[in-house]
Amino acid sequence: MPYFDAASAAPLHPVARQALLASLDEGWADPARLYREGRRARLLLDAAREAAAEAVGCRADELVFTPSGTRAVHAGVSGALAGRWRAGNRLVVSAVEHSSVLHAAEVHAAAGGAVTEVPVDRSGAVDAGAFAAALGEGAALACLQSANHEVGTAQPVAEVAEACRGVGVPLLVDAAQSLGWGPVEGGWSLLAASAHKWGGPAGVGLLAVRKGVRFAPQGPSDERESGRAPGFENLPAIVAAAASLRAVRAEAEAEGARLRGLVDRIRAWVPELVPDVEVVGDPVRRLPHLVTFSCLYVDGETLLHELDREGFSVSSGSSCTSSTLTPSHVLRAMGVLSEGNVRVSLPAGTAAEDVDRFLDVLPGVVAGVRERLGVPAATPVAGSGAVAGSGAVAGSGAVAGSGAVGDSGPVADSGPVADSGAVADGVPVVDALVVDALGRRCPIPVIELAKVIGDVPVGGTVRVLADDEAARLDIPAWCEMRGQEYLGEEPSPRGGVAYRVRRAA
């Protein structure tokens, strides 16, 4: 049963398991105590710190263990901001940071601090120059991930660190996704990571703060972990985390190359095998084990369920798979399609056969979901063959006019209607249509748009009324994929938003 969601949590590495078991017996006592059980625990803790620091590339006394990567980020951001309050109160982050960074930024903003979000390009990468330009007056701290957790794109950390150093702003690198693959290059000031991403146990994060970086831990503290992470140390898990980091690093080069090949295979074949797919993220500067693609006219939650039924565990940034019903902020910042989104992240040791079987199964699963959503398989909207990337598929009038093929929901009642302004010289020329998708969820608004675009002449417009948050991202993304022209949004008189699209092809 292939598990393809290593970016959420990797299965426990055998070395982690072994180290955990051994230290359950040797490392349960309080390392702050003077008796033998305490001294033994202290030795284990010190050794784990040395090992982790070596893998991170810092001094042991610069590194503390935290209860999770999230807590490491929270402690790092708040401590560095407080340490730098004289310099300013502005936090600079990329728009695609992990939610732990963005949550810390929200708290900073709520307390009166300023936050600057540096945008990313369509591949998910920040531009180092743009990041540097954001480091202006009052910048207290910058945060940049080493590589993105949803699309795998590597960030120009070394260049950004250089720019930060130039203006004296510390850089916190969230290395959660990459630390198992290698140290973070460049002159970072703070670094956070999470053990269960590299095959260590849950319950362990790490925070490195370089000597010389002003740092004032926030919240109640105690004498543990240099006053930076209060509470009794999770020692057996810390030992296991450090041991497994060392173990995965020993395998990183060979295993990284192997997984990179498997991901290349997915990147190449998915658009060949599945119509109307967008593979996102940088194809070269990326994590070795992670690839993300989105399927037009597909409901992400159903897709995940169907893949799960076929034995594949993947995750998704589609709005329907999030508790807030909003698409992933990463996909939004990239401006790429969010519907039918699938993230595949291969754990170390993934068999090539499992990847091949995934590629065998995927096309049928996607076609099945589309069929149930009323997207006729034979129409150009979701036609089979290598249409992906062809840019523009003209909708056929027959499909669009059918209103709600295979869909018995309210769309049938709100099929396309000629816009009232579309009557010229007494002759009704349907060069402007309105699709009412109010109350309908992703991917229905985009499906309805695709159905009718062929009903207007080239140069004609379609307005899609929708109140689903995903439409804001997916309608422009569809236009980009389809070579149609996205004109913008305006308030809809019936509630929600009217998205305006001009038929360009």
Which of the residues are catalytic?
320
User: 298: which residues sit within 8 A by CB, 6+ positions away?
Assistant: 339, 340, 366, 369, 370, 373, 443
State the nearest-atom distance from the C-beta of 404 to a copy of itself, in Å. 28
| Contact residues for a copy of itself, defined by CB under 8 A | 1, 3, 5, 8-12, 17, 20-21, 24-25, 28-30, 33-38, 67-71, 74, 78, 99-100, 103-104, 106-107, 194, 196, 201-203, 205, 219-223, 230-237, 301, 304-305, 307-308, 312-315, 321, 323
CB-hemisphere CA count at 13 Å for 252?
17
Q: What DSSP string describes 70-86?
A: HHHHHHHHHHHHHHTTT
**Structure token pair of residue 341:** 């989104």
Q: Which is nearer to a copy of itself, 233 or 448 (CB)?
A: 233
State the nearest-atom distance from the C-beta of 409 to a copy of itself, in Å. 23
Q: Which is nearer to a copy of itself, 48 or 498 (CB)?
A: 48
Q: Which is nearer to a copy of itself, 106 or 253 (CB)?
A: 106
- Convert 91-157 into a string of H (helix), E (strand) and C (coil): EEEECCCCHHHHHHHHHHHHCCCEEEEECCCCCCCCCHHHHHHCCCCCEEEEEEECECCCCCEECCH
Contact in structure between 36 and 227 (CB atoms under 8 Å): no
State the nearest-atom distance from the C-beta of 107 to a copy of itself, in Å. 5
State the nearest-atom distance from the C-beta of 186 to a copy of itself, in Å. 26
State the nearest-atom distance from the C-beta of 219 to a copy of itself, in Å. 6
Q: Which is nearer to a copy of itself, 65 or 499 (CB)?
A: 65
State the nearest-atom distance from the C-beta of 216 to a copy of itself, in Å. 12
Q: Which is nearer to a copy of itself, 201 or 454 (CB)?
A: 201
Q: What are phi and psi of 475, to 5 degrees?
A: -70, -50
State the nearest-atom distance from the C-beta of 398 to a copy of itself, in Å. 37
* Other Cβ atoms within 10 Å of 64 Cβ, number: 23
Query: Which residue stretches of 373-505 are H helix?
Result: 397-401, 444-452, 469-482
Best CA proximity match to 302, nearest among 290, 283, 319: 319
Residue type, 353: E
Q: What are phi and psi of 154, to 5 degrees?
A: -80, 145
State the nearest-atom distance from the C-beta of 335 to a copy of itself, in Å. 25
Residue type, 44: L
Best CA proximity match to 80, nearest among 193, 282, 218, 204: 218
Q: Which is nearer to a copy of itself, 20 or 147 (CB)?
A: 20
Q: Which is nearer to a copy of itself, 30 or 159 (CB)?
A: 30
Distance from C-alpha of 230 to C-alpha of 110, rounded to nearest angstrom: 24
Annotate 368-394 with b (16+ C-beta within 10 A) or e (fewer).
ebbeebbbbeebbbbeeeebbeeeebe
* Other Cβ atoms within 10 Å of 444 Cβ, number: 25
As separate numbers, helices (DSSP H) first and strands (DSSP E) second, the chain gives 13, 17
Best CA proximity match to 184, nearest among 211, 213, 160: 160
Distance from C-alpha of 200 to C-alpha of 198, rounded to nearest angstrom: 6
DSSP summary character for residue 300: H
Q: Which is nearer to a copy of itself, 221 or 390 (CB)?
A: 221
From residue 206, alpha-carbon distances to 109, 189, 391 in Å are 25, 14, 45
State the nearest-atom distance from the C-beta of 240 to a copy of itself, in Å. 10
State the nearest-atom distance from the C-beta of 403 to a copy of itself, in Å. 32
Q: Which is nearer to a copy of itself, 351 or 458 (CB)?
A: 351
**Structure token pair of residue 281:** 């993220």
Q: Which is nearer to a copy of itself, 20 or 449 (CB)?
A: 20
Residue 140: beta bridge partners?
Answer: none
What is the distance between the terminal CA atoms of the chain, rounded to a whole angstrom?
A: 44
